[in-house]
Amino acid sequence: MIWIGCGIRDSKDWIGLKAQGAAFIKAGVASGNVASIALLEKLNFQYYDTDNEELIFILRLDILPFSQTFTEASADADPLSAVFLFICSIFNCFTICFIAANSNWRGMKRAVGIIFVVFMIAAFMTQIETLFFGGAFPVLTKFDVILIMLAMLPPIVIATLLAIQFFGSSKPVGKGEPVPIQPLMGRLAALGLIYVAVYFLFGYFVAWQFEEVRVFYSGSRSNTGFIGQLMNNANDNPIIYPFQFIRGIMFASFSLPLFFMLRHNKKKFVISCCLVYLTTAVVLILPNTLFPDAVRWAHFYEMASSMLLFGIITGLILYVPEKRRR
């Protein structure tokens, strides 16, 4: 699996995209697989065989015009970054491979579906919230956030295509009955409301219990309680409520391709929702310049628990049993 580790750069301004734990990628290149090598060369990636037999893809970021403040703030890499990047890569690799191996879509339709779901949830949905809370991240410009988002697309595309090549089945499957759209619209709206509840409950009872989080966002150590915090949000930033409602609908909507890809198996659909949603949490294990470590880990606990729950709820609510045609 190849995954971008934002903010992990050396003085030469590059990000190492590690494919640690992805033996299928190494096997494809080592065996002279034409498709794998051609794809990598086309996208201008370089690959190296390291001493510990891990495949590393390196993407030069000097072609991406990040702001000077973000570049300077990202210059020093945490010694543990490689370890956390390895864990993050393994998880994201497993997520894509799990969907590719179990999808009942075939060909380019399957590839586009997986790329769309993973990019929109892991990259787009994460970074629109970064834009919303932009004032808390003075080292980032809006353009930096867009570049970070777009930089995640190439590794997602490559990982998906290689996962399909090595794990995807080409066996044709029967077509199921069409799914009525109107009932799904109501379920998406319900999931938007549920997301708002999950977001604020876990935001307060998990993340906000850390003093460092309260200081980071409000500048104060005081805790006004759950109702008090909701009232503070209503007074200081009332748009956060419709914003999170829309995000909830978007999270659920971007999961719909998973439903159609995995409609034949409810359990695998629910698991896929959980895995994809958890990509938004796992990335928080990577040390970065945006959050102090205590704040970063507080958000990781919050996101891991809340998105796991929301993934289960989304899978159960969106799933409609399939009746196959003969």
Q: Which domain holds residue 195?
A: 14-170+181-318
Of residues 201 and 15, more confidently modeled: 201
pLDDT above 90 covers a percentage of the chain that reads 51
Q: Residues 190, 316: contact at Cβ < 8 Å?
A: no
Q: Is residue 2 part of a domain?
A: no
**Which pLDDT band holds residue 211 (cuts at 50, 70, 90)?**
very high
Number of structural domains in the chain: 1
Q: According to the model, what pLDDT value does residue 228 have?
A: 93
Q: Is residue 306 part of a domain?
A: yes
Q: Is residue 326 part of a domain?
A: no
Q: Is residue 325 part of a domain?
A: no
Q: Is residue 4 part of a domain?
A: no
Q: Is residue 123 part of a domain?
A: yes
pLDDT above 70 covers a percentage of the chain that reads 72
Q: According to the model, what pLDDT value does residue 163 have?
A: 92
**Which pLDDT band holds residue 268 (cuts at 50, 70, 90)?**
very high
What DSSP assignment string belongs to 252-296? Answer: HHHTHHHHHHSTT-HHHHHHHHHHHHHHHHHGGGS--SSS-HHHH
pLDDT > 90? residue 320: no
**pLDDT tens digits for range 136-177:** 788 888 998 999 899 889 889 999 999 998 887 666 665 656
Q: Which amino acid is at 199?
A: Y
**pLDDT tens digits for range 286-307:** 888 888 899 999 999 999 999 9
- Which tokens in the block code for residue 293? 């470590």
CA-nearest of 37, 167, 18, 26 to 94 is 167
Q: Is residue 20 part of a domain?
A: yes
- Which tokens in the block code for residue 301? 């606990």
pLDDT > 80? residue 129: yes
Q: Is residue 23 part of a domain?
A: yes
